[in-house]
A and B are shown apart, each in its own frame.
Chain A
Amino acid sequence: MSNLFIPIIVIFVIVYGYFKKINIYDVFVSGASEGFIMVRDMFPSLLAMILAVNIFKSSGVIDFLFSFLKPIFLFLKIPFEVLPIAVMRPLSGSFGLALLNNIYGIYGPDSFVGILSSVIQGSSDTTVYIITLYFGTIGIKKIRYALWVGLFADLFMVVVSLIIVPLLF
């Protein structure tokens, strides 16, 4: 089912564009050229995060600091490795991506941990960043309950992933 998703969207968009008589080839090319700008802008922050994440993860200090949480995770049958991704996801997109890269490298992208981390990363956004950016731009100082509801929804998303992923894989 997931395999059909991308082809359907791609073909539908192309056929739709063709019948709307736009200059479809040029429009595709000019859109694709923006990809370069996007990855160029991504590189520095991703580099910063990969440096920090790789030093932190390969040091083994996570096991040392959070070993007291391990029995709880084991009891609930939750892979311990998803904790950093779940905690860091609302803070920074590059950070989550760096962690995901690390997890895929160790466990493989099709392992249970790999899938679970992908879903957690893919089903949420950088809550803290979005709230700071948008309210900052228009000069709002009192954000009221915005951050709490956002983070609460993120926590709920992690719980839902933990239920849905084992059901589907």
Chain B
Amino acid sequence: MINKLWVFLIIIGSSYLIINGRFDVLNREILGSGKVTLDLIIQIFPLISLWLGIMNIAEKSGLLDKLSKLIEPFLVKLFPDIPKGHESFGYISSNIIANVFGLGNAATPFGIKAMKSMQSLNVDKEVASRSMITFLIMNTCGFTVIPTTIISLRMLHKSENPSSIIFPCIIVSFISIVFGLIIDRLWAKR
């Protein structure tokens, strides 16, 4: 999918430029893209490091575990197919908390463990279970408290208030996650 998309964008874009005789623009974009990427990475780097440092404190002090325990009672309601006290709940809540605090890389291993333990409860090993789908919907809605990369990017472009987007992002992703879970429920009951 990404393969085709990538080739499509480059081929369509460059042919359109060549037809219109704008070789200078094409040349500039090809040669300049490395510099644009590097500027972006350099700008994102400090804030990501800072955030990972702070979040390591949250993890090692047991704060993230505590938050995970806090949301577990809600998960029991969202995942009625998983028996109470099953190990899946621990992995699911750790994955959600890691995602909420913008630790995508730390969230993935928990997510995989959650999927594996839900697979152990699954009847048909090749067909997705209802719990798995609910879990992935929660993941794809991307509920994050601090979108670090976007804030960094806004700083790079000299935004007057780089963190002004935090509040609207929280509202919008919260509404969409609630909506996603409702649709998921309705669909599962069909």
Chain A interface residues (CB < 8 Å from chain B): 1-3, 5-6, 9-10, 13-14, 16-17, 20, 22, 24, 27-36, 38-39, 42-43, 46-61, 64, 90-92, 95, 97, 100-101, 104-105, 108-110, 114-115, 118-119, 121-128, 130-131, 133-135, 137-146, 148-150, 152-154, 156-157, 160-161, 164-165, 168-169
A46 in complex: contacting residue of B41, B140, B146, B158, CB < 8 Å: B41
Does A153 lie within 8 Å of B111, measured CB to CB? no
Shortest C-beta distance, A131 to chain B (Å), equals: 6
14 contacts between A and B (CB under 8 A): A6-B163, A13-B54, A27-B60, A32-B56, A34-B52, A36-B45, A47-B37, A52-B10, A55-B30, A61-B16, A101-B153, A134-B115, A139-B126, A154-B176
**What separation, in Å, do the CA atoms of A92 and B140 have in the docked complex?**
12
A121 to B172 alpha-carbon distance, docked (Å): 11
Q: Shortest distance in angstroms between A104's beta carbon and chain B's nearest beta carbon?
A: 4
Size category of the B interface is: 35 or more
Q: Which residues from A are CB-within-8-Å of B172? A: 119, 123, 157, 160-161, 164
Contact code string B119-163 (vs A, CB < 8 Å = 1, else 0):
100000111100011001101111011110110011011111111
* CB atoms of B140 and A153 under 8 A apart: yes
Note all chain B residues with C-beta closer than 8 A to A141: 126-127
Q: Is the CB of A157 within 8 A of B141?
A: yes
B176 touches which one: A55, A131, A153 (CB < 8 A)?
A: A153
CB distance from A25 to the nearest CB of B (A): 9
Among B70-78, B79-87, B177-185, the stretch in contact with A: B177-185
Given contacts A31-B57, A150-B136, are A42 and B41 in contact (CB under 8 A)?
yes
What residue of chain A has the Cβ atom nearest to residue B170's Cβ? Answer: A123
Partner of B41, one of A39, A149, A164: A39
